[in-house]
Every structure is written in C-alpha cells, then in structure tokens.
Amino acid sequence: QQPVQSPQAVILREGEDAVINCSSSKALYSVHWYRQKHGEAPVFLMILLKGGEQKGHEKISASFNEKKQQSSLYLTASQLSYSGTYFCGTEWATGNQFYFGTGTSLTVIP
C-alpha cells in the first residue's frame, strides 16, 4: 500500500536536473509531493489529481500517469535550496487513508 519511490538518493551539482518517481500498486486518485529538510516538518509542493495536473512551484513540476499508477517529480536547474528529502503521498479516493512513500534524499552541491 505504501508507494515506492526511486531513486532512494541522488546527488546533483547546481544547475543539473533530476527526476523522482513514485509508483503505486493500486489505482490512484491523487498524488501529493512534499519536501522535508533535515529535522524539520515536510512542506507541501503540489497535488496532482486523476485526470488533471495542478500547478506547482517554478522549476519544479510533476506528471501523473494514471495507466502506470505513477507520478514523477521534475526538478530543473537545481539550486542548493532544493536539497532535502522528497516524499510522495498517495490516496485512492477522496477522504481515504493517505500513504507516504519511503522518500528520496536529494543533495545539491556547488
């Protein structure tokens, strides 16, 4: 039930791009993306709904492939501030239990 994220960890140089994937074994209604800095609370990035996509941050976007039950988070021209652990969260229907993925650690170096 917990979505699987890949890769588990990635190291980038400033300006490079990255893709983080989130896969579910069940059909998804929505996918959320959050970023967590070490020792801090997760911060919301964006929500993607079945049948559509909601706008996220600049240079950070996401896609939602309903057939593959998968979402991908795209970080372009990475900045040092992008470092952190990225979590996807999934739900199968509105109001149902929410499941977070195992997280992807992203480190951006100068």
For the CB of residue 94, give the shortest distance to other proteins in the complex, in Å: 4
Tracing tokens 């992807």 back to the chain, one arrives at: 104
DSSP string, 16-34: --EEEEEE-SS--SEEEEE
Give whichever of 30 and 78 is closer to other proteins, judged by the CB atom.
30
For other proteins, the binding residue among 41, 58, 67, 110 (CB under 8 A) is 41
* Residue 8 to residue 28: CA distance in whole angstroms: 21
Stretch that binds other proteins, among 11-19, 35-43, 60-68, 73-81 (CB under 8 A): 35-43
* Residue 50 to residue 69: CA distance in whole angstroms: 10
Which residues bind to other proteins, rule: CB under 8 A?
1-2, 5, 29-30, 32, 39-44, 47, 49, 87, 89, 91, 94-95, 97-103
